[in-house]
Amino acid sequence: MVNIGLLGDISVGKTSLLRLFVRYLNKGDIENVEGGKKCTVVKTDFSGEATLPGGEKEDKLNQKETKTIHPNRVVFREDDNNRAHTIFGPGGDSSRAVVKMGIITISRIATQIIAVFSCDREIEIQFKFFNDIRFFPDQIFACINKVDLIKGNKTQKQKKLEEIKKQIETFFKEKKIGIKDFFITCGETVEGFDDIESYNNQVAEMILKITTAN
Ligand SMILES: Nc1nc2c(ncn2[C@@H]2O[C@H](COP(=O)(O)OP(=O)(O)OP(=O)(O)O)[C@@H](O)[C@H]2O)c(=O)[nH]1
Ligand SMILES: [Mg+2]
């Protein structure tokens, strides 16, 4: 049984990634991704989402409507061997004591950590979130989300992604933490973005790779 902690700054898309994964399980798409297999949702808990009052929308661009206060949780089972795994997605607003408590708890009980970053703002700013977390394994995974929001042509996007990877690697290296693998994802079904399906699939592939290999 693997406990995954999805950790990252506010609004990077942790809850969206979890919801997308649940959709893949419920619709059976999970069997069609790379390394896919039949899995079943055992339990989901998104009750820790709080609706933001209209005026307080933190992410006007994305029309963000909720923020995570208490950690989200998804439990699923691999059908062939009956192994169950849990993914926890605490909120990112560590300035709130109750949210921070969730982050600390999850960072302690998770056996695998995915550090989530968003391409819609500077990566440097998103590092601050990780400076407060003391309990981290030596090796973690990194997820670069909202890939649809990187500007430019294919070559420019590729270059930007390589830069982001290097920044992330350097930041964690100073903390003596290695990055086992990078995943480039899109947590939404964005229209007019060519490679959307493969980046949506990456979300499911990421979770399967981490759980079924451990
Ligand atoms: N364009 C785009 N938007 C995304 C993507 N993933 C998430 N979003 C949007 O980003 C906003 C924030 O998403 P959440 O999933 O709530 O982010 P979060 O990290 O759970 O936020 P907190 O729990 O409050 O820290 C929402 O408006 C999502 O629709 C993506 O891949 N691309
Ligand atoms: Mg959330």
Count of CB atoms situated within 10 Å of the CB of 184: 20
Return the exposure string of 128-159: e unless at least 16 CB atoms fall within 10 Å of the residue's CB, then b. Answer: ebbeebeebeeebbbbbbbbbbbeeeeeebee
| Tens place of pLDDT per residue across the chain (214 aa) | 999 999 999 999 999 999 999 999 999 999 999 999 999 999 999 999 998 766 554 554 455 678 999 999 999 999 999 999 999 999 999 999 999 999 999 999 999 999 999 999 999 999 999 998 888 899 999 999 999 999 999 999 999 999 999 999 999 999 999 999 999 999 998 887 778 999 999 999 999 999 997 6
Pocket test for ligand 1, best of 17, 58, 62, 100 (most atoms within 8 A of CB): 62
Top mutation candidate among 16, 151, 202 for ligand 1, by most atoms within 8 Å of CB: 16
Q: Ligand 2 centroid to 155 CA: how many Å? A: 31
Domain boundaries, the chain: 3-212
What is the helix (H) or strand (E) element at residue 112, kind and residue range?
A: strand 112-118
Q: Do 54 and 12 touch, CB atoms closer than 8 A?
A: no
CA triple 30-35-38, angle to 5 deg: 40
Which residue among 95, 186, 188 is best mutated to probe the pocket of ligand 1, counting the most ligand atoms within 8 A of its Cβ?
188
Tokens 């499911």 belong to which residue?
204
Residue located via tokens 């009750």? 47
Atom of ligand 1 nearest to the CA of 62: 27
Q: Is the dihedral of CA 27, 32, 33, 37 positive or negative?
A: positive
Fold of the domain spanning 3-212: Rossmann fold (3.40.50)
SS3 percent helix, strand, coil of the chain, rounded to 5, is 40, 25, 35
CB-ligand 1 contact for 186 (6 Å cutoff): yes
Q: Whose CA is nearest to atom 13 of ligand 1?
A: 13
> Residues near 121 by Cβ (< 8 Å), separated by ≥ 6?
none
Q: At what angle do helices 154-173 and 123-131 cross, to 10 degrees?
A: 20
CA distance 146 to 187: 7
Ligand closest to 115 (CA) is 1
Identify which of 213, 204, 195 has the alpha carbon closest to the alpha carbon of residue 34.
204
Verify whether ligand 1 is closer than 6 Å to residue 16 (CB atom).
yes
Nearest residue (CA) to ligand 1, atom 27: 64
Q: Please give the model's pTM, rounded to 2 decimal places.
A: 0.95
